[in-house]
Structure 1
Amino acid sequence: MKKLIFTQEAPAAIGPYSQAIEANGMIYTSGQLPIDPITGEMPEDVEEQAEQSLKNVFAILKEAGVDSSKVVKTTVFIKDMSDFPRINKVYERFFTESYPARSCVEVARLPKDALVEIEVVALR
């Protein structure tokens, strides 16, 4: 069975997709851009963008009733791999020991010209 997960504490989808889906005890978030769900604005600094993207991810997970300890995999999409250390600095504030598996990929362009987009897979 598939269950839609939605919260107003994260930005609404900007296309034909869901913020997250739960299926077979797993929660799959869509990539979260660094958009403030209240103002609709996006910070310019890459560290602030990484923080807002993660805040959006965790707002969705909270709606699903799980926390960071349930995250098993993250994928981080970044515009410039030279920003990796700065993004990592922010990332480690959101996850503690027993870190989830992670991929980090430099991409040519992200929606809304963001510098960062983050998605996760979590256990129920």
Structure 2
Amino acid sequence: MNRRKSIEIEGVNHGTTPIPQGAKIDRFVFSSAIAGIDPDTGEIPEDPAKQVELVFRHVRSFMENAGGTPDDIGKMTVYLQDEQYRDLVNQEWVKMFPDAESRPARHSTVTNLRRGALVQVEITAVLRES
């Protein structure tokens, strides 16, 4: 039996590229880049706040599909098209992780993103033992 299992988010994909949204090996979960794709249209909306809201919604779905919750996330890497989107990320971050004593590690970097994405994230998580 394979130790590795691909993880997907319904309505969100990497187009024609043969890459899953992430992978789970035993209790360890790793995501590919998760963008603010609207699952109804398959497009990335122009509105920065909507993109960031979708990114965090997809993080929650991704973790549920992996068998966990955002509480299992140990680290999130945030990729920003521009520094100006950091505040939007911080707003959603605090909604997802309201306890300042229990937040994942986070690193943010400004880089050139594709397809109109203004924000993307990658996560590493460890699920509870079952």
TM-score (norm 2): 0.85
**1:99 partnered with 2:103:** yes
Residue 79 of structure 2 is matched in structure 1 by: 77
Does structure 2 conserve the Cα–Cα contact (< 8 Å) formed by 1:50 and 1:91? no
Q: Write the letter of the residue equivalent to 2:108.
A: C
Kindly report which structure 2 residues correspond to 1:54-69, keeping only aligned pairs within 5 A, or say none.
54-69=56-71
Residue 13 of structure 1 is matched in structure 2 by: 14
Root-mean-square deviation (Å): 1.4
Q: CA deviation at 1:24?
A: 3.7
Q: Write the letter of the residue equivalent to 1:102.
A: R
Q: Note the residue ranges of structure 1 that are not aligned, 5 or more in a row.
A: none
Matched length: 122
> Which of the pair has more CA radius of gyration?
2
TM-score (norm 1): 0.89
Does structure 1 conserve the Cα–Cα contact (< 8 Å) formed by 2:44 and 2:116? no
Residue 41 of structure 2 is matched in structure 1 by: 39
Does structure 1 conserve the Cα–Cα contact (< 8 Å) formed by 2:44 and 2:115? no
Provide the rounded CA distance (Å) in 1 between the counterparts of 2:18 and 2:84. 32
Residue 111 of structure 1 is matched in structure 2 by: 114
Q: CA deviation at 1:119?
A: 1.4
Q: CA deviation at 1:6?
A: 2.1
Residue 121 of structure 1 is matched in structure 2 by: 124
Q: Write the letter of the residue equivalent to 2:105.
A: A
Partner SS, residue 122 of structure 1: strand
Give the 4+ runs in structure 1 shifted more than 3 A.
none
Partner SS, residue 20 of structure 2: coil
**Alpha-carbon deviations, 1:23-77, whole Å to 9, x = none?**
1411101111110112213222222211111111211111111111101000110
Provide the rounded CA distance (Å) in 2 between the counterparts of 1:31 and 1:115. 12
Partner SS, residue 113 of structure 1: coil
Identity %: 29
